[in-house]
Chains A and B, each alone.
Chain A
Amino acid sequence: MARGAIRTVDTLAAEAVPGVVRVFTPDTMPRLPSVPEQPDWDIMYGSSFVPMADRTIHYAGQPIGMVLAETLEAARHAATLIHYEFAAEEPVVGLDVTTDLAGEPGHEPEQIWLGFVAGYLPGAVKRGSGAAALDHAAVRLEGRWRLSTNHHNPMELVASTASWESADRLTLYETSQHVANHRNGLAKLLGLPRENVRVVASYVGGGFGCKGPVWPHSWLAALAAKAAGRPVRLVLSRAQMYTAVGYREEQWIDLRIGATQEGKLLGATVTKLSATPAWEDWVEPSWYPFTFMYDLPALETRCRLLRANVMAPTFMRAPGEAPGMLVQECAMNELAAELGVDPIELRLRNHADVYPIDGSQWSSKRLKECYRVGAERFGWASRSPTPRSMREGDLLIGMGMASASHTVYRQPASARVTITTTGIAHVAASATDIGTGTATFLRQITADELGLPLDAVQALIGDTGLPEAPMQAGASLTSSLGSAALAAARTLRGRVLALATGTEGSPLYGHNENDLALDDGRILAGGNPTGQTVSGVLRRAGLTELSSDGRFDPGGMGQVRSGDPVRDRREAPRGMHSFGAIFAEVAVDPELGLIRVRRLTGVYACGRILNPKLAESQLIGGITWGMSQALFEVTHMDARFGRFTNTNLSEYMVPVNLDVPVIDVTFLDDPDPYINPLGVKGVGEIGITGVAAAIADAVWHATGKRLRTLPILPDALLDGDEISSTRC
């Protein structure tokens, strides 16, 4: 049932199941004192939709009942015994409908709300006249890329445990990428002061965007716990994960792009078609990479949205860049082939020497070196440019490449560093660790600044009782929170030294602070031991510990409030991006239609790399996901039922170990003095970008087939479903 209404509900059988405590339906679910509103500049909601509030059905998978029981098994069983009768209507889903739920052929939003990290983006971009520029192009390319629905599928299921400590004090244990966001959201929705809500999430088993926003399961757990008078744990099933916490929407991207005979880009038009729920507009800004990646003098982008019986899509790894870079880089490769130019050479001819959005300087950019080093490491020169020209036995070999890039986001962040007379330091911030190594980098930064061994620094994370950290999202946490931790540690170091040199009777009284250094808890002067220790300084001052707070504030919150995505994403008048180049080799078995990736080489310039092992791990994961986007991932929607059909990890394909080749990741030294005090750009998002385009190009190089429907499955190679690039 994807559209209609509940006519009757019968809960008797469910209530009779042993162990069942309460059964809620839309008729009996306690109401929220207030409901989510979009936009909210302080709270990121997954959607403004409030389920269990009335009997209307908007999408398949919508929550319409909740059972509390002593065991999960009893609750799940009882839930199947709630008997509903529905008045069903034909659902509207899919991108090939002629009219949407509103009875229209879609609508074009004026602006796109992307929560407080990116704020509003314009619904359409116009830089010069992309359409007119195409008229003068010697070479033109036109095509539709069809990108499938994708889901985050973190291994760890989404879960909330809500515990009311008193009538107006809530503790929520949540699978959260941002505990402060969940605190603020729950406080507002439940009508509580923020200080009465505590949210805890120290370690989270993968998020990828689906655990950042506040979704209904959290407040449903809190409301149920209040009504039941006891703590409630709500764990989404794997199938429920497909309709409860967002996804990357299916999208068709129509591109027209033109260049001179010399391969200089002249202009492009980009139109994206996707579906959104009846009650709000969600658009992944897939056109965004076209605005910054190349020297593209004319650009027109549009988004057309269809209202459909779907839950709201949401952020998913590298939102905007993942699909946008895919289409843009595929187009560059197709143009290169049309022009008979090497794909790297075409990119060099269109390299954006300045930030194309406003003509300002880049904070740092080493993309050309990424191409050069990547080509060397990969052996790009061994590629024979003609398609189907490289073979090994039954196999066709193909090589492809693409650029990678991600916007640098910066968020306000706070951290506290404390040193004690035991010689142990603590670094504290509310940030969650979603597998990126949050605790590790906080300890590293603190240890470096305080001159302590890593083992002497402990991290306290994942609790709203700690200094407020930003969302673990947008590849921005390490850079933003790391800068705050650095500030805190630096201040603390100064205070320790000030105590040592400014306290009468201290052996170091009167020393110049600049002459002193901290080393493993000792204080050195001019590099020599002084016999003084940090602990001794604290004790002499009558302290058992000393704390300092640090803050990173990118200015204007680094958030978009003016509706101008350019100005508000950054403080200094500079373009801030991480860059990279990715190279892929595939082996295609043309008779069986099988594509296997044999090599992936990525070279990246992402500012300073704090921890090479953690950073490489992020890139390997991201690149693997890009490969998965190219060859595996699709959530199927059966339009007749308005329901996803493969809501489990057996039928939703991701690569297995055997599919993933050795991934060669190199980071270039990329000092960037403008980004933040640490010089870190972030590595969490860039890995997925460009990979699918490199693989699609490698498939073309192997087979001669341009395939623009993702993922590329054996069917496409066996059915002769070939799209030759079109000159118009």
Chain B
Amino acid sequence: MQPFSYVEPRSRAEALRLAQAYPEARFLAGGTTLVDLMKSGVVHPPMLIDVNRIGGLDEIEAAEGSLRLGALARMSDAASHEAVRTQAPGLSESLLFAASGQLRNMASLGGNLLQRTRCLYFRDRHFPCNKRAPGSGCGAIDGENRALAVLGTSAACIANYPGDFAIMLVALDGTVYLDGPAGERAVPAATFHRLPADTPHIETVLAPGEMITAISLPLGALSRQSRYLKVRDRSSYEYASVSVAAAADFAPDGTIRDARLALGGLAAKPWPVTEAALLLAGRRPDDPVAMGRLMDAAVDGARPRSGNAYKVPQARSAIRRAFATLARRSARSVA
């Protein structure tokens, strides 16, 4: 780890001022990604701006059909929050299935959105990587790529976005709130992350000096019937090979009134499948035609490399499984 300076502002304004004055500085929240990457020599900010002492950024509020999560709320606190568990169970699942208890106690929601890829070539500075060292090439594209993306990739980068929470947030039409030199703004969660194209080192729409202050999502029939299905080689403490964030509002006859779908693990960014509402409306989850069309739409344009073709059939099955589970839960709650 390279030497760095450390500052601990007590207000948001002071933190933003420091970030503007020191453009290479990084905000430190839970530190579960950043410190790890600093120790690995992947990133080496000369200054850390610890935002943990700033008040008012860790609150969780549910009111008037909306859930608002402070950027500094810890994953474990959000996952176990009564309103999250009951009104957006899929969001709670997406947090609980991630990392370990110890990490969830430290990691912040804002930081969670900014998790970096687990691509082996990104995390080991001895390999070329366009994301870590722009222009050095992509080691993964013809290398060990079993864990990496098949959707949204480019010739410069096939890294996958590794997180879980963001996938559910995208599915449930969440919003990310930012504050920075140009003032406050709100960004749809679905457009917060960027595709790699030829600039894979730029991963989000965050402008220099900007910070995440809060996250929100609408609460309603969809969020109440949401599920996060995480598929991975081992049972816990592993990133998703494929994950499915699904939500469906069922009519009493078991047909779907409205639905949402986003995929994780296999894409360069959280991957919304915007066709879900249209393709499933008026259909039942066990309708093979509708589900087949949805699965086709979900993995349309997939470009597998040597080691990750299995993710395509895995994702198709996981989508069907997630909606089938939602239907069973819905039938049970009606009964």
Where the two chains meet, the residues of A that have a C-beta atom closer than 8 Å to any C-beta of B are 60, 73, 76-77, 80, 239, 394, 591-594, 596, 631-632, 636, 638, 640-641, 643, 645-648, 650-651, 653, 655-659, 713-715, 718-719
Contacts and interface: CB of A to CB of B under 8 A. Distances in A.
B310 A714 contact: yes
A631 B235 CA distance: 12
Nearest to B309: A719
A641 B127 contact: yes
A220 B249 CA distance: 66
Interface residues of B, number: 33
Interface stretch (B74-82, B202-210, B213-221, B311-319): B311-319
Interface in B1-48: 1-3, 41
A725 to B, nearest CB: 23
B118 A655 contact: no
22 contacts: A73-B1, A76-B1, A77-B1, A80-B2, A591-B321, A592-B314, A592-B317, A638-B139, A638-B144, A643-B124, A643-B127, A645-B127, A646-B120, A648-B123, A650-B118, A651-B118, A656-B237, A658-B236, A714-B241, A714-B310, A714-B314, A719-B309
Query: Which 3 interchain pairs have the tightest Cβ spacing?
Result: A591-B317, A658-B235, A715-B310
Given A592-B321, A593-B314, A643-B126, A77 B234 contact: no
Contacts of B123: 648, 651
Interface in B127-167: 127, 139, 142-144, 146
Nearest to B3: A77
Nearest to B100: A656
A718 B310 contact: yes
B317 A640 contact: no
Contacts of A645: 120-121, 124, 127, 143-144
A714 B233 contact: yes
Interface in B66-88: none
B245 interface: no
B231 interface: yes
Nearest to A647: B124
B118 A593 contact: no
B294 to A, nearest CB: 15
A236 to B, nearest CB: 15
B59 interface: no
Contacts of A651: 118, 120, 123
A653 B233 contact: yes
Given A77-B2, A638-B144, A647-B124, A592 B231 contact: yes
Contacts of B235: 596, 656, 658-659
Nearest to A713: B233
B238 A594 contact: no
Contacts of A647: 124
A656 B236 contact: yes
A547 B238 CA distance: 54
B313 A641 contact: no
Contacts of A77: 1-3
A657 B235 CA distance: 9
Nearest to A73: B1
B103 to A, nearest CB: 11
A632 B233 CA distance: 8
Nearest to A593: B314
Contacts of A655: 234
Given A656-B236, A718-B314, 20 more contacts: A77-B2, A80-B2, A394-B321, A592-B314, A592-B318, A636-B144, A638-B127, A638-B143, A638-B144, A641-B139, A643-B126, A648-B123, A651-B120, A653-B234, A656-B234, A656-B238, A658-B234, A658-B235, A713-B233, A719-B310
Contacts of B127: 638, 641, 643, 645
B163 to A, nearest CB: 15
A78 to B, nearest CB: 10
Q: In the complex, which of the residues B3, B231, B233, B237 has the most CB atoms of chain A within 10 Å of its own CB atom?
A: B233
Contacts of A659: 234-236
Interface in B101-131: 118, 120-121, 123-124, 126-127
Contacts of B314: 592-593, 714, 718
